[in-house]
């Protein structure tokens, strides 16, 4: 009896999520190759001799396999994209010459709007999308903490008019990406999963920037809580226009539940603002506002937050 060798997965985006998957893969015999931004970043990584990862106990040093675009020497047939949405197009362009035409690509990132441009760039890619609620953050250069267990869902979007890959194929990809405690579950309707996560991010992330607070502190501030309700009211209008049944009360309940469960988290958007980095706002609130315009809906509260984060 012969067995099929596991494919070699590359991870584009060595931030918190990418490093989390690579770390657990390393520990459980499924090594991934991290693709770092450039040769200088790779040199810094090599000087650090790997990732320091606290995966639920004491921190440990992991010499994860890593490379950079200029040093890629093999074709990329399986790619997990964990780069932030605003960095995706440039990051993929840097490795495009090494990306197989029919490569399996999994998008695992916040926000919406990066999938369609990827398919225009390379129409024969086998593109899947994923969403995770794993709690992980960086606490220093090449250092992560796995702070909370979550759920990761994977599927093929029906919004991209691609040939269906089939349940068995998608289930196989989910198994390949399930390493250690990180279990990936295939779902039939990934579009709804991604949309619901976007709505939660639209409600929470820009408000944490406005009030410079942790997620849970939005629930303790009467002004922020009122504004949260106003934002969700606008989101509910878009949700209804797209045919989703969740009403304003249900959406607000979901948002408040997430804020409570992640009470001590500092949103990635707030962390980016504090570090002077570009944020994902165009692929979160910006995406929502553009969609609202297409639907003929006015979203002044969300538009105001979009402007605030752009100018922060």
Q: Which of 65, 84, 122, 197 is catalytic?
A: 197
DSSP code for 179: B
Phi/psi-derived region of residue 206, left when phi > 0, alpha when psi is between -120 and 50, beta in every other case: alpha
Q: Provide φ and ψ at 252, rounded to 5°.
A: -65, -40
Task: From 208, 207, 108, 125, select the one nearest 160 (Cα to Cα).
Answer: 125
Residue 37 CA to chain centroid, in angstroms? 17
Write the CB contacts of 263 (distance below 8 Å, at least 6 apart in sequence). 214, 215, 216, 217, 219
| Catalytic residue flag (residue 237) | no
| Beta-strand pair 184-186/66-67 | unpaired
Give helix 190-211 / helix 300-311 axis angle, nearest 10°: 60
Full DSSP string of 113-157: SSHHHHHHH-TT-EEEEEEE--EEEEEETTEEEEEE---EEEE--
**3-class DSSP assignment, residue 279:** coil
Give, in order, the Cα–Cα distances in Å from 254 to each of 148, 178, 250: 18, 27, 6
Q: Which residues belong to the active site?
A: 197
């Amino acid at each position: 009896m012969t067995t099929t060798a596991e494919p070699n997965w590359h991870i584009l985006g060595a931030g918190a999520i990418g490093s989390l998957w690579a770390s657990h893969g390393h520990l459980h015999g499924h090594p991934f190759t991290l693709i770092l931004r450039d040769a200088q970043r790779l040199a810094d990584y090599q000087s650090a001799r790997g990732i320091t990862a606290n995966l639920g106990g004491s921190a440990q040093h992991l010499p994860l396999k890593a490379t950079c675009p200029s040093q890629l020497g093999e074709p990329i047939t399986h790619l997990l994209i964990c780069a932030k949405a605003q960095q995706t197009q440039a990051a993929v362009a840097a490795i495009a010459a090494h990306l197989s035409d029919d490569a399996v690509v999994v998008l695992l990132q916040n926000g919406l709007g990066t999938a369609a441009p990827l398919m225009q760039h390379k129409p024969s890619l086998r593109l899947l999308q994923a969403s995770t609620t794993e709690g992980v953050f960086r606490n220093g250069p090449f250092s992560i903490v796995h702070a909370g267990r979550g759920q990761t869902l994977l599927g093929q979007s029906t919004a991209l008019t691609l040939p269906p890959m089939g349940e068995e194929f998608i289930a196989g990809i989910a198994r390949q990406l399930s390493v250690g405690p990180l279990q990936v579950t295939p779902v039939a309707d990934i579009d709804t999963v991604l949309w619901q996560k976007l709505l939660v991010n639209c409600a929470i992330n820009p408000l944490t920037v406005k009030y410079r607070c942790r997620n849970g502190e939005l629930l303790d501030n009467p002004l922020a809580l009122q504004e949260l309700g106003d934002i969700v009211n606008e989101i509910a209008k878009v949700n209804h226009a797209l045919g989703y049944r969740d009403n304003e009360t249900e959406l607000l309940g979901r948002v408040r539940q997430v804020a409570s469960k992640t009470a001590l988290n500092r949103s990635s958007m707030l962390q980016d603002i504090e570090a002077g980095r570009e944020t994902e706002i165009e692929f979160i609130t910006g995406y929502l506002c553009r969609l609202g315009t297409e639907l003929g809906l006015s979203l002044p509260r969300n538009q105001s937050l979009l402007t605030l984060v752009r100018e922060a």
